[in-house]
Structure 1
Amino acid sequence: MTVNDDSFTNWKIREEIAESMIPLIGKLHRERDVTVLLHSRSLVNKSVVSILKTHRFARQIAGAELSVTETMPFLQALTALDLGPSQIDLGMLVTTYKADDRGLSVAEFTAEAVAGATGANRIERREPRDVVLYGFGRIGRLVARLLIEKAGSGNGLRLRAIVVRGGGAQDIVKRASLLRRDSIHGQFQGTITVDEDSSTIVANGNAIKVIYADDPSQVDYTEYGIRDAILIDNTGKWRDREGLSQHLRPGIEKVVLTAPGKGDVPNIVHGVNHDTVKPDEQILSCASCTTNAIVPPLKAMDDEYGVLRGHVETVHSFTNDQNLLDNYHKSERRGRSAPLNMVITETGAASAVAKALPDLKAKISGSSIRVPVPDVSIAILNLQLARETTREEVHDYLREVSLTSPLKRQIDFITAPDAVSSDFIGSRHASIVDAGALKVDGDNAILYLWYDNEFGYSCQVVRVVQHVSGVEYPTYPAPAV
């Protein structure tokens, strides 16, 4: 048998194993509210090829490819346990098992590693929490996709309504079409139907009421059976407590803003300061996409090396705030054609760092250049550290952070030598460290951080909403602190 024959046979075997994993992953998700991950990447509702590609991607960050032959025994062991709602990372199970020298079987080790989610320790499945989207633009539609995707178990968050201004004939049909198809993020994964008479979009069985209103004061959400909901304002029209408080109408308990908050509105970056949200806080912000991209790696670097000062330069994709062709704009330069120019502009991300990392003493400055790509940006984080180090040390440290730390859902790591911006469309991490571009010279480190400023940020928004709603389930094995 030739090498080619061996490779093809091996592929077919792995295909068969991955295919047999799908019903096990699906049953855990639907019946027990367990999300199976592989190095922070969900395997729920993934195809055979997607599962195999996710296993192969582990080579980029762990140095060696994971095989389904390694992870399948752990998945089988999970199905035999009395699991409660949780997230379980097969990649971490395999990694920690290999490092364990006690001679335990896979079943014994797995039962011990996820003990917090079994038996008397397990938490009960919670009733779905109502969510309302105020606005239905780029971020609103991506958050909608994520909420619909995560509703598969019937628990967690449930998108009940979308509030928009009336747009004329066939408004709801056109909005449903924008949810169904996206020029950047592709087709919606599932089915969408529209009931114009009841003003309802049904997506994968989720009935979503479309409410037309020009102002928050026009809506009483209890009229639609909505109770104790979390409202996500993705219009950016109001950013301070007074303005956002207008959303606290009957049926709404909390308001989450998808833009930097002003004044005393808390700016929350999930993974960094989400645990500081007070239970009775009704209004909070998820900061900006760039703040979410730079704060987690900045925290990681400060924790290990100390940061004395820094500057972030963002090379950012253009947004709807800019003009397609030269025209009047209230801001400087943004009136010039976005698809035809690089546009120097400001970023509030650097100043927002202080809200998310109040213990960071370093002064962080920032600026931004908008460039002619529709999605995915890069932040160049130039840091003066409190001690000297080497490129190899920082490289290995950040790779480990992306694998095993509490920030592993926020920070990804890639070693591909030919990676470009479009490769990161659809990334669910807040930022991705480009290992090949990393520069270290003594006490100076320059990090290149890719981020999908639309989808990655939307994932961070949903994580914050899950946390404040009480449906953010624990992850096992627990990340190293």
Structure 2
Amino acid sequence: MTQRKPIRVGIMGFGQTGRQIYQLAAASDDVEVVAIADIGKPEILHYLLCSEGSDPAQHRLDGNFLANDRFRARLMEIDSPAEMPWDIFGVDIVIDSTGKYRNRNYMEDHLGNGAPRVLLRTLPTDHIDRIVISGINEASASVSDRMISAGSATTSALALLLDSLSGSFEIECGSMTTVHAFTSDQALQDYAGSDFRRSRSAAKNIIPNSHEASLWLGKVLPQFEGKILTSALNVPVQEGCLLDVNLVMKDDSVDAEAINNAMRAAAAAKPGIIGAVEDPIVSSDVIGSSLSLLYDTKGTIKAGHNTIKTLSWYENLGHAARLLDVVRLYSSLDAQKEAA
């Protein structure tokens, strides 16, 4: 049997998610990063990459290339998708991990410059070909998809929780609050921005924020269209997030242990994506986890007749891992088409 060639990935944006994707690709045997577009200087990008990894010596800066024992990635000081010549690198897919270029026009710029597909690390702002949440709707993916989103870390965690529970219980409605680590677009000192609350210091405040997962949840789980409200609290923690979900169950006999057992079964059915923890963990304990959802069995509470409160944990590394899962999914679809 002929061994398949590695999947050639381009990355736009070498922030936390971009660097995590690179690290995961370097540790794999089937993905190689061939080009990286970012406004940062190569020596600074290399420095940041080495500062985060467990084996910084494996990453070398060779002129304008980041190199390791598996592949070399060309670093391009480029600010927008319209400027990046993906065609000269022979990429199979581009992951836009900037979080900035979320609408169709920017995605079409990637495609027009030679990217066969573009995958957003965030939710889109308008209609695209597909939102794929690993562990839920991979079967809906089509080889014809060109503009794809993998949702977000929070959206994936919420969707996995709802999907896992809806197989056993009827959920009438619910609300989600993500207690979320502060993000790179927040100011560390009070600084006038586009939003009053987000103009306050991320380093010393709990900042209420909106969250758009509810706007797109129905695209992945149609049965929850309009049934789940979502919001966020950005807190002065650098990594590790908590998903606080309250669900109104149709059957008032459902108790906390029934919910816990359903999530334990989901963790067994989807290892590597969902986990269930019995220990009394805190946010720092989830750092380094590549799971999309770590369900906290000690946090489940029944309130009143039919309301269940759940707690789950996640961090950005899990989302980076799922992005590469989606990359592999579409590579497999391409291979099936070629073999047909």
TM over 0.5, shorter chain: yes
Correspondences of 1:303-314 after superposition (within 5 Å)? 303-314=167-178
Based on CA coordinates, which of the two structures has the bigger radius of gyration? 1
Partner of 2:33: 159
Which one of 233, 239, 253 corresponds to residue 102 of structure 2?
Answer: 239
Q: 1:140 to 1:472 in 2, by over 3 A?
A: farther
2:332 to 470, 477, 481: 470
Equivalent runs, 1:39-50 vs 2, <5 Å: none
Matched, 1:203 2:73: no
Measured against aligned partners, the alpha-carbon deviations of 1:80-119 in whole angstroms (never above 9, x if no partner) come to xxxxxxxxxxxxxxxxxxxxxxxxxxxxxxxxxxxxxxxx
Which structure 2 segments of 5+ residues have no match? 336-340
- Once the two structures are TM-superposed, the CA of residue 361 in structure 1 deviates from its matched residue by 5.1
Structure ranking higher in helix proportion:
1
RMSD of aligned residue pairs (Cα, Å): 2.0
**Residue pair 1:181, 1:188 contacting (<8 A) in 2 also:** no
How far off its partner does 1:157 sit?
A: 1.7
TM-score normalized by structure 1?
0.66
Partner residue, 1:450: 313
Q: Deviations over 1:308-345 (max 9, x none)?
A: 10000111110111101111111221111111111111
Asked whether 1:326 is paired with 2:193, we answer no
Residue 444 of structure 1 deviates from its aligned partner by 2.1
Equivalent of 2:139 in 254, 266, 275: 275
Over 3 Å counting, the alpha-carbon distance change for 1:203 and 1:371 in structure 2 is: same
**4+ residue segments displaced more than 6 Å:** none
SS in 2 for 1:436: strand
Counterpart contact for 1:219–1:249, Cα < 8 Å:
no
CA distance in 2, matches of 1:243, 1:361: 27
> Could you tell me which residue of structure 2 aligns to residue 360 of structure 1?
224
Of the three residues 387, 391, 394, the one matched with 2:256 is 391
Picking from 216, 220, 224, the partner of 2:85 is 220
Asked if the contact 1:131/1:230 (under 8 Å) is kept, the reply is yes
Q: Offset of 1:362 from its aligned partner?
A: 6.0
2:17 matched residue in structure 1 = 139
Q: Which runs of 5+ in 1 are unaligned?
A: 1-122, 474-481
Contact 1:324 1:338 in 2 (8 A): yes
1:381-430 Cα offsets, whole Å, 9 max, x none, are 10011223122222222112101x2x33321100013x110000011111
Please show how residues 45-56 of structure 1 align to structure 2 within 5 Å: none
In the alignment, does 2:291 pair up with 1:429?
Answer: yes
Query: Aligned partners of 2:107, 2:161: CA distance in 1, in Å?
Result: 30
2:272 paired residue number: 409
Residue by residue, what CA displacement relative to the aligned partner does 1:44-94 show, whole Å, maximum 9, x if unpaired?
xxxxxxxxxxxxxxxxxxxxxxxxxxxxxxxxxxxxxxxxxxxxxxxxxxx
Task: Tell me how far 1:131 sits from its aligned partner.
Answer: 0.3
Residue 440 of structure 1 aligns with which residue? 302
Report the identity percentage. 26
1:9-31 Cα offsets, whole Å, 9 max, x none, are xxxxxxxxxxxxxxxxxxxxxxx
Question: How far apart are the structure 2 equivalents of 1:399 and 1:421?
Answer: 20
Residue 127 in structure 1 maps to residue 5 in structure 2? yes
Once residues 140 and 188 of structure 1 are traced to their aligned partners in structure 2, the CA distance between those partners, rounded to angstroms, is: 17
Identify the match of residue 233 of structure 2 among 369, 374, 391.
369
Residue 351 (str. 1) matches residue 218 (str. 2): no
CA drift at 1:214: 3.3
Does the CA contact (< 8 Å) of 2:245 and 2:310 recur in 1? yes
2:338 corresponding residue in structure 1: none
Using the TM superposition, give the Cα deviation of residue 177 of structure 1 relative to its aligned residue in structure 2, in angstroms: 1.1
Number of residue pairs matched by the alignment: 332
The answer on 1:287 being equivalent to 2:147 is no
How far the C-alpha of 1:189 sits from its partner, in A, is 6.1
